[in-house]
Amino acid sequence: MSSKQEIQKINKPWGYELIWAKTKDYVGKILHINKGHKLSLQYHKVKEETIYLYSGKMTFVFENEKGELEGVNLQAGEAHHISPGRKHRMIAIEDCEIFEVSTPHLDDVVRLEDGYGRGCSSV
């Protein structure tokens, strides 16, 4: 059975996200991050996701295999996988459009640092 999917827009202090697919198995989003803005340094306990930078440039900060934070510059057309428990953050060098596909655990966010006054979790 197929059905028209309602798209949900959620405004964020760094831009917005469009949730265009939501099922019991996966979620598809488009994140728009305004130039010069960054998402929280965060991790997920269960949620697993892969991002694809569709347009723009960003610095992607992630926890590597040694448990250290490192940053890489991503260009349009590049992707990165984020395993549960790995700290990460996106910083927009230019306006960015990012496709994100993840498990459906949308509330599974542990914020470690945030520049917009949203609460952080103590770890």
DSSP letters spanning the chain: ---PPPPEEEEETTEEEEEEEE-SS-EEEEEEE-TT-BPPEEE-SS--EEEEEEESEEEEEEE-TTS-EEEEEEETT-EEEE-TT--EEEEESS-EEEEEEE-S-TT--EEEE-TTS------
Residue pLDDT, tens place only, 62-87: 999 999 999 999 999 999 999 999 99
Q: What is the mean pLDDT of residues 87-105?
A: 97
Listed by start position, the domains of the chain span 8-105
pLDDT of residue 120: 74
pLDDT of residue 117: 81
pLDDT higher than 80, residue 122: no
pLDDT of residue 20: 96
pLDDT tier for residue 13 given thresholds of 50, 70 and 90: very high
pLDDT higher than 80, residue 121: no
pLDDT of residue 1: 65
- Could you say which of 3.40.50.12280, 2.60.120.10, 2.60.120.640, 3.30.70.150 is the CATH number of the domain covering 8-105? 2.60.120.10
